[in-house]
């Protein structure tokens, strides 16, 4: 796993998704070296880099040019540029042109979450997996409901991580913002 502090960051781009969350996501995804992964809303590339190290190919999409620039720098820093196709565009219109998806990760979707999930569903290979990383309560509810309506049996895990800060007189716990990982597998 890559340390949070090792990623190149920008105050205009959210991320990287924290290390412990990336670890749980990787574990849940059961990513294999022949998998094609799509990362919608790649932000700083935190998730794209980790999957690129383990999968066959990652397609990383973000509508924010600054996010694309930071992701490009992180891909280079971690030597995975050749495994990743970087697309600066809106997630919904981009995935309409992508077939053959084994793992789809939605890290940002604006108001398009439901439509994005519909398109992913149509493009996902048998046994393909969908993951939504959601901070907003609204995204969690919308994601679960949409996946249910598409015939999935979605799961949600809410992750609360606290890190110990070592002080002279003891260890103080500092909490990260809670985040949910919603997951679903195509049957
Ligand atoms: N997982 C990322 C952080 C994602 S932050 C990391 O580890 O760094 C969410 C990102 O989703 C933002 O960069 C935002 O620009 C992008 N985003 C939001 N809606 C989008 C959409 N409809 N299409 C493409 N990107 C989108």
Closest CA to 10 of 43, 48, 51, 35: 43
* pLDDT at residue 152 in the model: 98
**Burial state string for 115-140 with b = 16 or more CB within 10 A and e = fewer than 16:** ebbebbbebbeeebbbbbbbeeeebb
Assess whether pLDDT exceeds 90 at residue 120: yes
Provide the 10 A C-beta neighbour count for residue 53: 16
* pLDDT at residue 187 in the model: 84
Q: List phi, psi (to 5°) of 94.
A: -70, -45
What spacing in Å lies between the alpha carbon of 30 and ligand 1's midpoint?
Answer: 23
Pocket of ligand 1 (CB under 6 A): 13-17, 40-44, 46-47, 61-64, 67, 90-91, 107-110, 112
Q: What is the pLDDT of residues 46-83, one digit of tens each?
A: 999 999 999 999 999 999 999 999 999 999 999 999 99
Got the DSSP string for 86-137?
Answer: EEES-HHHHHTT---EEEEEES--TT-HHHHHHHHHHHEEEEEEEEEEE-SH
Which tokens in the block code for residue 93? 């219109």
Closest CA to 84 of 124, 42, 121, 126: 42
Q: Whose CA is nearest to atom 22 of ligand 1?
A: 109
What spacing in Å lies between the alpha carbon of 110 and ligand 1's midpoint?
Answer: 8
Q: Whose CA is nearest to atom 13 of ligand 1?
A: 43
Which tokens in the block code for residue 132? 């939504």
**Residue 120 CB contacts under 8 Å (≥ 6 apart), including other chains:** 38, 95, 101, 104, 106, 130
Average pLDDT over residues 113-133: 97
Residue from 10, 63, 104 to probe ligand 1 pocket by mutation (most atoms less than 8 Å from CB): 63
Task: Please give the Cα distance from 84 to 50 (Å, whole number).
Answer: 11
Residue from 68, 108, 114 to probe ligand 1 pocket by mutation (most atoms less than 8 Å from CB): 108
Q: Whose CA is nearest to atom 9 of ligand 1?
A: 108
Q: What is the pLDDT of residues 125-149, one digit of tens each?
A: 999 999 999 999 999 999 999 999 9
Tokens 């620039």 -> residue: 69
Task: Please give the Cα distance from 15 to 187 (Å, whole number).
Answer: 31
Which tokens in the block code for residue 128? 């393909």
Q: DSSP assignment, residue 146?
A: H
Q: Whose CA is nearest to atom 18 of ligand 1?
A: 108
Q: Which atom of ligand 1 lies at the shortest distance from residue 42's CA? A: 2
What spacing in Å lies between the alpha carbon of 171 and ligand 1's midpoint?
Answer: 34
**Residue 114 CB contacts under 8 Å (≥ 6 apart), including other chains:** 142, 146
Query: What is the Cα 169 distance to its own chain's centre?
Result: 38
The pTM (predicted TM-score) of the whole model is 0.97
Q: DSSP assignment, residue 33?
A: T
Q: Which atom of ligand 1 lies at the shortest distance from residue 7's CA? A: 8
Task: Please give the Cα distance from 38 to 43 (Å, whole number).
Answer: 13
């Amino acid at each position: 796993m890559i340390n949070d502090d090792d990623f190149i960051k920008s105050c205009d781009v959210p991320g990287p998704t924290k290390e412990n969350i990336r670890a749980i996501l990787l574990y849940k995804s059961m990513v294999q070296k022949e998998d094609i992964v799509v990362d919608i809303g790649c932000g700083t590339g935190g998730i794209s880099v980790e999957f690129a190290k383990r999968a066959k190919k990652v397609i990383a999409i973000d509508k924010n040019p600054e996010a694309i620039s930071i992701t490009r720098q992180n891909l280079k820093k971690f030597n995975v540029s050749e495994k990743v196709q970087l697309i600066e565009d809106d997630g919904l219109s981009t995935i309409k042109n992508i077939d053959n998806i084994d793992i789809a990760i939605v890290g940002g979707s604006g108001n398009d979450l439901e439509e994005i999930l519909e398109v992913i569903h149509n493009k996902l290979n048998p046994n393909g997996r969908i993951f939504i990383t959601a901070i907003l309560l609204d995204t969690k509810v919308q994601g679960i409901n949409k996946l249910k309506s598409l015939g999935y049996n979605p799961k949600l895990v809410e992750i609360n991580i606290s890190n110990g800060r070592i002080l002279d007189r003891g260890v103080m716990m500092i909490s990260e913002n809670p985040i949910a990982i919603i997951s679903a597998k195509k049957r």
